[in-house]
Structure 1
Amino acid sequence: MTAAPGRRSSTFTRLLRHGFTDATAAERLLDSAELVLLRDDPVLLEALGGTADPDLALLGLVRLLEAQPNPGARRELLDTLIAAKPLRDRLLGVLGASTALADHLTRHPGDWQALVMYEAYDLHPGVEEFEAGLAEADDPVSLRVAYRRCLLSIAARDVCGTTGVAESAAELADLATATLRAALGIAEAAAPEDAALCRLAVVAMGKCGGHELNYVSDVDVIFVGEAIEGADETKAVRAATRLASHMMRICSETTVEGSIWPVDANLRPEGRNGPLVRTLSSHLAYYQRWAKTWEFQALLKARPVAGDLDLGEEYVAAVQPLVWKAAERENFVPDVQKMRRRVVENIPLAEVDRQLKLGPGGLRDVEFAVQLLQLVHGRTDTSLRSGTTLDALKALAAGGYVGRADAAKLDEAYRFLRSMEHRIQLFRLRRTHLVPEEEAELRRIGRSLGLRADPVADLHREWRRHATVVRRLHEKLFYRPLLDAVAQLAPGEARLRPEAARERMVALGYADPASALRHLEALASGVTRKAAIQRTLLPVLLGWFADSADPDAGLLNFRKVSDALGKTPWYLRLLRDEGAAAQNLARVLSAGRLAPDLLMRAPEAVALLGDGDGGGLEPRSRTHLEQEILAAVKRADGSAQAVTAARGVRRRELFRTAAVDIVGSYGTEEQPAEADQGALVDRVGGAVSDLTAATLAGTLRAVVREGWGDSLPTRFAIIGMGRFGGHELGYGSDADVLFVHEPRDGVDEQEAGQAANKVVSEMRRLLQIPSADPPLLIDADLRPEGKSGPLVRTLKSYEAYYRRWSLTWESHALLRAEPVAGDEDLGRRFIELIDPLRYRADGLDDEAVREIRRLKARMESERLPRGADPKLHAKLGPGGLSDVEWTVQLLQLRHGSAEPGLRTTRTREALAAARTAGLITEEDAATLDEAWVLATRVRNAVMLVRGRAGDTFPTEPRELAAVGRYLGYGPGHAGDMLDAYRRTARRARGVVEELFYGAAER
């Protein structure tokens, strides 16, 4: 039938007004034979206009009418539709929200009658009502049909607003419970002999266990099996496993009606590698000995749902005490937080901004935060032990563990995000948590949530608003109540009780919670602007401190810095406004003693942690450092004051270097840990070496200026040796040097020698004046004749000595000689003098190689500390620094004359050159390089953590954990770190055995 033009125009307009997007197609459908009696009915158009997608609802209605088996059935549907508004709203609401349920109704055209009833019990059905709805299903296909019929009624109440999102989620969980029972019944009917042997309990986990299931989700379960009295346990467990497997297949397998949902048993002990069914005692044995923190977190939602419910209750009762002791486990909070971070890191980059569940500000953030608080405080407060997120959040607020305003905002955000998730999944009944990109789908979701003015724009705005709230409160939820508990600024607000505050601090890893709470009170109390900013910063800072090996030290150090700088206008503004600065500071303050000690001596160096005028964390060049130190020396009044000024620059720059090292090793939210650890080691070694050279240059200038003005009677140069010459100094390394001078024209050699000796003596005296700064010790023991020889020689004296008396060890030591301060021309000529000695044209004979071996063995036997574990000694142990460096230096001595690339003072450069020249395989070079970098990082870590130099891993647990954190090992993995070091060193020692100890035979 074709409509008249005038009526068509009127209908077309009305369709657009009622929300149709394709009015032409809609008009054509309304003119179809199936709807001829209703095409002008304003009630129908109004009802269609109230749906999420009127076009979809109208198409679904036509399809449903076409599917009716005869005209009488079609007429019955139309009559009921006209007469019964509840049915009309329910049916059209479902058809406008879900193509999947429209397809079901088309395949089963009589199922629309499941929506007719509107009795009181129908508003909130439970497991019994759903069991009745599934009662006639006796095979997987009929179970699937009955399940969809029940789902139809849940969806209808949901889209019509009869039930809220929490009630719908609970109904979905109850329907899943009834379905599991029905599926198990079918499995038992198929194998009565198995059912007669065992008791099988099905325990729901995850969202099903928590009574908050999605429309489409894996249903997580754990199976517990026991033998019935008199039965063999092994046979009973096998029988229970067969029943459980069959039950899973019934729900998961695809039939002509599709599948119901996957049953996932991977939360069981040992995951998919463990047995599907265990006895209760086997479960308990696993949880008591092997379970990880996340497994106890998962058990928080455990709920018996099917099979032998008494056995299920026994299981839950047995594991609950273990669940509520989980917060007492070492590194509990970091473990939970790390798992959350790992989830986010595994989201494909293209999906992060569309993830409702797993992304930042998503549903999982609310769930994790709530569960964390439950596990911490549920030990002593049983009112918190709910598996349902919103119920638990309400209990946390009632108990004062979460601020009421924060809890209300999270409740609202969680309900909105879950509603979005439900509407997205309902459309095609597919498991997804991604917000679609197509405008039509976004429009349908927005309209379904009551956003009718501009559905797409309004949906995006509301979604982002709620996600922002969740992101902001995710960390705050755990830490903010601590501040409210000590700051006492919110009268009438339920406050965290003192014992609950202490519980929370202990869970965060604070060893002295009472002192930590006093620090928080000092920082956050009051009505000043400073206190207000601190209250904003501290929730995030506390999380970063908790991520370290020593949260107590981090918080204490932050209080000290804040006390020193709290009245400085730029300090808190820097931390508040520059995102990286606050996290960098938290990392630095909680990583050990060295960096905080340096910062306490110069708190203004906090500015370096930002991106502003402080220059950032990039180490400065030697030229810039020398210029600054020499300018400071020039301004100083006397050599002592000059060296004090040089030390001030050194202190600040040591802090800068330590900070870049810590941040590069720990990483931040904005900047992950540096992947190339070799580059980080080179940067630190180069920065400390440059700083040492600049400090010596400044000290030399100060001494010369005070004693002789600017005209020292002899040219004077300082030659760096060892790690100093190799640009590889660590934080606690001595500065190995040689001093060389050359009388100026017309100056008596004795006068010049006296002046040079006085310079050396005064430099050493000034640098050894007691100070709180890390010491800078000058070591000249590598000079000719060692400690017995003069501290300073002329260039001619060096030439004469090396020509007549030089020993193999001296050629070896000179491999790393490089001018670092003083007269540049004299330094260059010294290098020209020694080059033929260290890069001999004739290489080394076998006797010289044996001598080098003897020297190395003697050094290790004499210097290795008594009682130290050689395998963990980073310098002298097998595969340590000495092994790698002596091996590389032997290659330099043998081949340096022929291979220009070997003529470098730097270990890694020389190793790379040896590989390029074919003197060592690529694999062996990589092995040695890895060992050298790791050993160097261990020494740097020890100095950063303990504040004093060391070559072995600390024995104190917190210090060892801090070294591990620096090296990239999380809480509880110090043993893994030591094993990895031994492995790396053992591989390197194997290469050394071949290249160094086998060298004479090669």
Structure 2
Amino acid sequence: MRSTQVVLPKSLTHLAQRTEALIAHTESLAQEYDSTNLCIRTWIKDQRSNLERLVAASDFMFEQLLRQPHLLPKLIAANLLHQPLSTGSLRQSLATTLEGCNDETQLAQALRQFRQMHQVRIIWRDLTYQADLTETCRDLSDLADNCIDLTYQWLYTRFCAQYGIPRNIQGQAQHLVVLGMGKLGAYELNLSSDIDLIFAYPETGATDGAKELDNQTFFVRLGQKLIKALDAITVDGFVFRVDMRLRPYGSSGALVFSFAALEQYYQEQGRDWERYAMIKARVVAGDQQAGQQLMELLRPFVYRRYLDFSAIESLRAMKQLIAQEVKRKGMAENIKLGAGGIREVEFIAQMFQLIHGGRDSSLQQRPLLGVLATLETRGYLPSETVTELREGYYFLRYLEHALQAIADQQTQVLPDNPTDQARVALMLGFADWPSLMQQLKHWRDRINAHFQQVIACPKEDTETQALTEPAPRPASQCLTWGEEWLEKDAQQQLHLLGFSQPEAAAQRLKALHQGSQRRSMQNLGRERLDAFIPRLVCRIALQPDPDLVLSRVLPLVEAIARRSAYLVLLTENPGALERLLSLCGASAWIAEQVTRFPLLLDELLNAERLYAPPAAPELAAELNERLMRIPEEDLEQQMEALRHFKLAHSLRVAASEVAGTLPLMKVSDYLTWLAEAILEQVLALAWKHTTARHGQPKRRDGTLCNPDFIIVGYGKLGGIELGHGSDLDLVFIHNGDPNQETDGLKPIDGAQFFIRLGQRIIHLLTTQTASGPLYEVDMRLRPSGAAGLLVSTLSHYAQYQSQEAWTWEHQALVRARPVAGCRELSTAFQLIRNQVLGRARDLSQLAHEVSEMRAKMRTALGTSATHGGTTPEAFQPDHRFHLKHDAGGIVDIEFMVQYATLAWSHQYPELLRYTDNIRILDGLEHTKLLPVASVQALQNAYKAYRAAAHRLSLQRQPGVVAGDQFHHERQSVLRIWHSLGLS
């Protein structure tokens, strides 16, 4: 930031003496402002030191105040120097000024005098520390916006009078659209910026006047006049220097393009530096509505829908060209282009925007400071890094303004004469030039260090930082790859690298090398693949089981080969590559997920986020924020966002599990919280869509439902025990009036409405998109099962559970709970659940029915050798034990918990408080219904079984183990089973 010292150095005293003549001149005019005469004289007295400082520092300020004698009294009288402008006041003032212009000469003079007045105002507020960087840049950008737009409107009116109104073939009037690029587009203009513009118009056509012109010619001529009105230097100076070289084909291209021509150019010929430039593009003048349509057309060119790490290469190449130019022209002292300068901060921010902006719309913004804030809050950069970049950027921009304030010249080069050095130090509040240079060196060093870390070329030695010893060999020594590749050489190299099955590994690599996919790739993609494979093999060789990792990773490489930006991602981020290999070695499920959905590679970039999934409130808030950034009508994008959210967070949970940072019970918690957050949003989307079509349903009292609907989770979802790949057992309940019609344009009765709402929810959850379905859904636990209504009223649900439900349905109800929807209805459901489960039962009858259902399940789903439970053959290694369904397994524990809840909750209602087995068992211990030893044995067995099932799931293996495993746990479970009177 800036220091606050403002002592005028002796070396500038002679310049400060110019203030005397200026004050005398101003006071002599004060009487012309009768009502403010005293005000002006008092102001001069109070502000004398500031006047001296600014006159000594800025030749431009002195010359403007002397050349325009009424300028300072006018600014003082209007109180424009000590308060920010109100919204719209600058535009209104300029519009009034231009109303009196009758020709282009008067227009030019009025624009320039208006600009000089506000330039003086802005410099005064900036250099007296009354305005921060944001206000100064905003004021300068607003000044440019209004000068461009109101000048355009003035010229357009006169052109239409001369040639007629330009129209498209449908007869609609056409306007020019002016795009502001660079600092203007981002509201970041400096004190002496030029303005980079692109001119466009919506459609071809012609004017409707007597002197007909085609629209292209009309707008070219108008554009030329607009440039001249702003850019030409007259006796009054200039308004803004205009640069049109960012338009398609640069200086050799047409001055104005139709929307269609622009879209075609950027789709077919747009270069990487043009993407970089287009990040900050903004409609600054002309037809704003049409301009927004143009911006939507160009958005896909700027922000790719996938991770685009090739942007690093482009920005790196641009930076190298700039560095060469700086060196060639001896511009090392340029605070914009030199090392550690403004451009490096911009490159860092824009690199993340180009890479991630297509997927993370929060990065689709123009102002650099806003982007830095997002990089911090979204976890792309550490807070300490962002703080240094932000503060360094502030310092450089304040310094840039000081350099330009001296003579209103567009410069970012440090002065080499003592007078200007003293001026700059004074404006930034430093005691002398060496003090300023010391601070400047600090910030340039810090910015450059961050720039090198983010954008500099990766080297073999730096790639090993994420690894422990031994370090990998250089990629060139790991594997010969390229057109000269030979399988026999590869086998020998793989053997030396430590592969236990080099022949099989070489065969896999051969299939990739000689496959049609690689042969059909474009040159750039093939070059990236050929550079990546030796690096990859070198890294895989360091894994505990390189053969396994290679077999799991190569399918991913084949999947992403044509989208070589992913190869760049892994090349540019050795830490991400290391995490990928480690996770794939640990879990076949993770390897398969990343292969099916390569967009998950994004999650590997941030280790801190990867191994620390957020808790329930943060999950819900993050998903809500993500969906809020998507237009309400874009259902396809909303569905993709939901799926990507689920995939990303499922990967984070799995990664945390295999890394050992998340215990089993927490894994289930997180997966359940994830499902709940998604279901809440799916319900909201389905409700919004269904009510938009049919209106809202009504309650029995005639009031509107909002929404009087809940999603009840059964099974693993209800029991907070979801695993990887679990489906969702759901039941839908509403409390509306089935017979009253909705209040929309296409009304339907309440029963039909809620059925369609339920169908919509299932559609959103199960539809197969490019990112797969959200969840598989099982609705068979609803009243009457598959033969029943998709959605039940609360009263029908209560009646069914009380009078018609089977015992096994009450067992299922033990693990049922509302997971999304109306709170009041959720409370009513809980009361019904407690009433149904808490009634007194005949224990012998209950034990018989539970045992009978368990026997049926064992016969249907268990392995044949273990139906007898403790028979000797059941514990032999050549037999199999199904962790869930066999005797002594998970389902036995669940059935005991359900039996106990149904048997004793009428006496101990606290057993109904929870729906998960572990806490219900805690309740059975607390009430002394089961001995402590029995509860602990069941809980330990349950956790051990589920942990084993999770491990097998992550390896894409069924939940079956050798018969000699879990011998003690199985016997304990069966002993307790029989002790409860179950058979």
Q: Calculate the TM-score normalised by the size of structure 2.
A: 0.43
- State the structure with more CA Rg: 1
Structure-1-length-normalised TM-score:
0.43
